[in-house]
């Protein structure tokens, strides 16, 4: 047996093991997520869930200033440099990127502090705002802004570490802090707090910030431990200008991606009230479950796709990518059917009878997830093959569609209108990216595609 065949078999085994571990992590995350929301629903209520959702969504938006596109850049460049053993570039990129997010986090922190000072009760601006909007509106402003300012630096550090760990092909270590450590810490901390004091919305947000801080610390430790031996003795090669230019299209992709995922929550916050946001938040978190396999496989294969593209052999991965799309679709369909049968009963059992309104919202979102799973790992393949510009352009289209439909449908249908808008925008983006992969890379990676590449010469030309 040739060395290439042995290497290929070893790599497939490694991917399957990583996917299995990540699947277990995500599966364990489901009861944790349900437990968190059950505690919140029965303490701070749907309004408290809504405010927490707004803090998380606004943090994702503001974090774009700090690290938009940086995790993808770290994954791609570290994987490519590791392929040729370029330790100097890896050392330089890690050092430069940490300085980058630190400086920008401090700037955003100062701006947020200035906003709080300007509108603090008793100040001229604060008094004027309070007289115009009422104390409740002013209080909600402070809850959200303080939560975002406190959460931002730890979120940036989490994303930085995830990008580095994925680049070193430590995909399991990359997702554990954000997707497992933080939810577990949040759940345990909430349980302790509920036993000691009455849980309020500000305390809930403070506990979430603390859980994120501890998870970010763990992620940073894992990222530093993943560095290859002897890298600190290598003089770092700084390519700040090159990296900054590379961040431009990746930042565009990140901006549109975040808006794609947060538009529904944010627009509900503007056009509806915190209770509607809370009902929608529960539905959107439940709707994530059918897409667990998709998230896992995207994470596992991202560094591999980058390395194959760097070596000019990406086209040969089509059979694997088609197979992963079929697995994703099968998992999404099974989860969707289970939720269709018992979803409404489960929502009322866990969160209370009033949360039955989240059931149709979740069904609409799940339908979009099923179509997305059929399309396969479209964004991952394009971004890791230096086609982030295509993802950016398509994401802009999706964002415009999402915002437009949300404006129309939220007014007409409320939270379920936001779900319809979000699902349609997701389907549009996935289908457009799938078509782009066919035309640019000569590959068809959908679940119903043949596993034989259509044009063996196309990948070499690109």
Kindly report the average pLDDT of the chain as a whole number.
81
Residue 461 pLDDT greater than 50, yes or no: no
Structure tokens at 86: 């370029």
Residue 84 pLDDT greater than 50, yes or no: yes
pLDDT tens figures, 89-98: 888 989 999 9
pLDDT given at position 6 = 42
Question: Regarding predicted confidence, which is higher, 9 or 350?
Answer: 350
Give how far the C-alpha of residue 299 lies from the chain's centroid of Cα atoms, to the nearest Å: 11
Structure tokens at 28: 């364990």
What confidence category does residue 119 fall into, taking pLDDT thresholds of 50, 70 and 90?
low
Q: List Cβ neighbours of 462 (8 Å cut-off, separation of 6 or more).
A: 385, 440, 441
- The C-alpha atoms of residue 251 and residue 236 are separated, in whole angstroms, by 24
The torsion of the CA quartet 372, 373, 377, 380, rounded to 10 degrees, works out to 60
State what percent of residues in the chain have pLDDT above 70: 84
Residue 124 pLDDT greater than 80, yes or no: no
Q: List Cβ neighbours of 191 (8 Å cut-off, separation of 6 or more).
A: 39
Q: Nearest to residue 394, comparing CAs of 412, 377, 378?
A: 378
What confidence category does residue 58 fall into, taking pLDDT thresholds of 50, 70 and 90?
confident
What confidence category does residue 2 fall into, taking pLDDT thresholds of 50, 70 and 90?
very low
Pinpoint the alpha helices (H) of 226-357. 240-271, 274-287, 292-310, 318-351
What confidence category does residue 421 fall into, taking pLDDT thresholds of 50, 70 and 90?
very high
The listed range with the strongest mean pLDDT (34-38, 61-65, 450-454) is: 34-38
Neighbours of 428 (CB within 10 A): 17
Place of tokens 């034989």: 452
Q: What would the mean pLDDT of 99-104 be, rounded to a whole number?
A: 88
Domain count, the chain: 1
pLDDT given at position 432 = 92
Question: Regarding predicted confidence, which is higher, 452 or 303?
Answer: 303
- The C-alpha atoms of residue 314 and residue 306 are separated, in whole angstroms, by 8
Beta bridge partners of 123: 121
Neighbours of 347 (CB within 10 A): 26
Sign of CA dihedral 417, 376, 257, 184: positive
pLDDT given at position 431 = 93
Residue 201: Cβ-neighbour burial (10 angstroms; 0-12, 13-18, 19+): buried
Place of tokens 């004091």: 197
Residue 334 pLDDT greater than 50, yes or no: yes
pLDDT given at position 383 = 79
Q: Nearest to residue 385, comparing CAs of 164, 79, 169, 174?
A: 79
- The C-alpha atoms of residue 439 and residue 448 are separated, in whole angstroms, by 17
Q: Nearest to residue 322, comparing CAs of 237, 204, 445, 216?
A: 445
Residue 342 pLDDT greater than 60, yes or no: yes
DSSP letter assigned to residue 267: H
pLDDT tens figures, 156-167: 999 999 999 988
Neighbours of 312 (CB within 10 A): 11
Domain that holds residue 308: 3-461
Stretch among 3-7, 211-215, 216-220, 338-342 having the lowest mean pLDDT: 3-7
What confidence category does residue 127 fall into, taking pLDDT thresholds of 50, 70 and 90?
very low
State what percent of residues in the chain have pLDDT above 90: 22
pLDDT tens figures, 274-307: 788 888 888 988 888 887 777 777 766 666 777 7
Pinpoint the alpha helices (H) of 42-134. 45-67, 70-83, 87-119, 124-133
Buried b (16+ CB within 10 A) or exposed e, 8-21: eeeeeeebeebbeb
What confidence category does residue 139 fall into, taking pLDDT thresholds of 50, 70 and 90?
low
């Amino acid at each position: 047996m040739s060395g290439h065949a042995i290497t290929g078999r070893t790599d497939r085994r490694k991917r399957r093991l990583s996917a299995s571990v990540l699947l277990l992590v995500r599966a364990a995350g489901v009861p944790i997520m349900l437990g968190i929301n059950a505690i919140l629903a029965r303490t701070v209520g749907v309004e408290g869930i809504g405010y927490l959702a707004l803090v998380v969504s606004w943090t994702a938006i503001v974090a774009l200033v700090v690290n938009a596109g940086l995790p993808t850049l770290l994954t791609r460049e570290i994987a490519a440099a590791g392929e040729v053993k370029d330790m100097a570039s890896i050392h330089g990129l890690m050092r430069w990127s940490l300085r980058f997010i630190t400086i920008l986090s401090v700037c955003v922190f100062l701006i947020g502090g200035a906003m709080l000072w300007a509108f603090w009760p008793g100040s001229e601006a604060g008094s004027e705002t309070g007289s115009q909007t009422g104390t409740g509106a002013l209080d909600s402003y402070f809850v959200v802004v303080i939560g975002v300012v406190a959460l931002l630096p730890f979120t940036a550090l989490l994303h930085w570490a995830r990008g580095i760990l994925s680049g070193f092909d430590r995909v399991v270590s990359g997702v554990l802090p954000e997707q497992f450590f933080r939810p577990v810490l949040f759940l345990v901390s909430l349980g302790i707090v509920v036993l000691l004091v009455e849980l309020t919305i500000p305390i809930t947000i403070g506990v979430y910030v603390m859980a994120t801080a501890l998870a970010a610390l763990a992620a940073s430790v894992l990222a530093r431990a993943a560095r290859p031996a002897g890298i600190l003795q290598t003089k770092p090669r700084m390519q700040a200008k090159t990296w900054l230019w590379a961040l431009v299209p990746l930042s565009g992709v990140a901006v549109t991606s975040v808006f794609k995922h947060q538009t529904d929550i944010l627009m509900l916050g503007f056009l509806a009230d915190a209770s509607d946001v809370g009902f929608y938040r529960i539905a959107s978190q439940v709707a994530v479950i059918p897409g667990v396999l998709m998230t896992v496989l995207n994470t596992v294969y991202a560094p591999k796709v980058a390395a194959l593209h760097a070596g000019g052999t990406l086209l040969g991965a089509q059979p694997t990518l088609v197979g992963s799309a079929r697995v994703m679709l099968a998992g999404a369909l099974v989860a969707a059917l289970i939720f269709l049968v018992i979803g409404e009963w489960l929502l009322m059992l866990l969160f209370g009878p009033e949360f039955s309104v989240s059931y149709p919202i979740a069904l609409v979102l799940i339908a979009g997830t099923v179509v997305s799973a059929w399309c396969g790992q479209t964004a991952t393949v394009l971004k890791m093959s230096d086609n982030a510009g295509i993802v950016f352009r398509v994401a802009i289209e999706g964002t415009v569609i999402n915002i437009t439909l949300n404006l129309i449908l939220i007014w007409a249908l409320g939270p379920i209108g936001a779900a319809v808008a979000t699902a349609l925008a997701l389907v549009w983006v996935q289908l457009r990216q799938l078509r782009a992969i066919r035309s640019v890379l000569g590959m068809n990676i959908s679940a119903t595609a043949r596993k034989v590449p259509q044009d063996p010469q196309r990948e070499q030309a690109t």
